[in-house]
Structure 1
Amino acid sequence: MANDAKKIRFAPNGNLFMAPAPGTSGATTVLPTDVGDGKAAPAGYRGMGYVDEGGVTITPSIETQPVNVWQSAVPVLYNVQAAAFQVKATLVEFNQLTTELFFGAKWVAVKDDKNQDTGTYRLDLSSTPELSELSLVVDWAQKGVLYRVVIPRAMVSDRGAITLQRAEAGKFELTIDALDSDGTLGYVLTNDDILGLGVNPPVSVPDTGTDTGTGSNPGTGTGTETGTETV
């Protein structure tokens, strides 16, 4: 296959979305099966806000063990020891989702002695925290080419330190690992023509032309038509 520079991909736009993992208590999450539009959250998911300029790191990994035999100086087989699918991102918005993920606890409204809201919210850090499952979607796009990674079940496996400074925004560094979901770690959706079937994603391009009409009752008008054509 010949080299094709048009197949080089960047990710200038993207989003992270989360929802309760399907099967968890009270969850009604339905996993997305379409690639989306590169902007809107999948049904039932919520956006996690801005990510710092380092973007999102996605790492699939397979750990193997060589099978060595007497008759050969090199392995004759590799056996799978473990598999993982990991997403790392540094979130920069202080909102409910990011702070609850980072601290591993839920916010509650503080009430006064008359059970009225005080405008203060409290998040208790347990000495024996419970890990919660989530479903994660990572979207990215370059013009009309869209990609979406869906992880049905995942947990936050690591957190970086948050640094509070005068001249730099606070950031929440999170590592999220996929969990087994009926034999899968997740799946990838795209409208990119990966299989070379000739079905390309729609791209809006400007269309400028001059339309001069001649009919049975001709006139002398000339008009210019400008619009957007989807090809």
Structure 2
Amino acid sequence: MGDSANIIVGTAGKAYAAPVGSTFPLGPEIAWGSDFTDMGFITPDGLEEALAEERTQLDAWGEDAPVVDLAKKRTQTFKLVFRETTAQLLALYYQVQMASMTSTAAVTTPTPAKQFVSFGSGSTQDTVEIALGLDVIYGGKRHRIMIARAGVSDRGALKHSADDSSNYELTFTALAAPGGAQSVQHFITEVTLPTP
């Protein structure tokens, strides 16, 4: 018989970014370290996680089914749509290191002018990678996903209109972790393993 307590409904969530190589929390209820910064509001669409696999099948003479089925590559992606415009999201969307951005301070005299950030884009050599932390929260339960090294592999069109905020749709791909560590780790509260 099913148990409705096992149904996950992601009613809220957060995304955090840190430099690659940062240390992740050791449990789903432990606070994120000081390296991790909150990436801001996410649209109600929430998180879309996908796992794609490329496989190779080996046949044998006289056999009508493959004798070996090997996974060649697994690609994990995480899609989020962010509402806020921040330096970090601009860096990820346009693939520009924040160190390559310039901030011009506001002035009040002689002619008032607002602060602004400026940067150029277009170089494929300037890639931005982060450690990505994700929390999906549902009725007091938590699914924490930690991606040791992630890059933006796809971007939605950036729309500027009076109908909605200028949102940043980013799809992150999990990359090989530094030092051979696990590229993606999951913590999910209140899921028990069967007794052997």
Deviation at 1:183, TM superposition (A): 5.1
Structure 2 residue 103 is matched with structure 1 residue 109: yes
When residues 36 and 67 of structure 1 are mapped into structure 2, their CA distance, relative to the original with a 3 A threshold, is: same
Q: Which runs of 4+ in 1 moved over 4 A?
A: none
- Identity fraction in percent: 21
- 1:210-221 residue pairs with structure 2 within 5 A? none
Separation (CA, whole Å) in 1 of partners of 2:52 and 2:183: 11
| CA deviation after TM superposition for structure 1 residue 153, in Å | 0.9
- Structure 1 contact 159–172 (Cα < 8 Å) conserved: yes
Establish whether residue 20 from structure 1 lines up as the match of residue 19 from structure 2. Answer: yes
Corresponding position of 1:35: 28
Work out the CA distance in 2 between the residues paired with 1:150 and 1:42. 13
TM-score, normalised to structure 2, is: 0.84
Partner of 2:10: 11
- Correspondent of 1:141 among 137, 145, 152: 137
| Contact map agreement 1:90 1:174 (CA 8 A) in 2 | yes
Q: What's the RMSD between the two structures over aligned residues?
A: 2.2
Q: TM-score, normalised by structure 1?
A: 0.72
Deviation at 1:69, TM superposition (A): 1.6
Number of residues paired by the alignment?
A: 184
Choose between structure 1 and 2 for higher RCO, CA contacts under 8 A separated by at least 6 residues.
Answer: 2
Q: Is the 8 A contact 2:158 2:168 kept in 1?
A: yes
Q: Flag the structure with higher strand content.
A: 1
**Higher Rg of the two aligned structures:** 1
**What is the CA-CA distance between 1:158 and the residue it aligns to?**
1.4
Unaligned runs of 5+ in 1: 23-28, 198-231
Find the partner of 2:149 among 134, 153, 164: 153
Cα pair 1:84 1:185 within 8 Å, conserved:
no
The separation in 1 between residues aligned to 2:42 and 2:115, in whole angstroms, is 28
**Cα offset, 1:150, TM superposition:** 0.4
Q: What is the deviation of 1:110?
A: 2.9
Instruction: Please tell me whether the aligned partners of residues 60 and 86 of structure 1 are also in contact (alpha carbons under 8 angstroms).
Output: yes
Report the CA distance between 1:166 and its aligned residue: 1.9
Quick check: 1:139–1:148 contact (8 Å CA) kept in 2?
yes
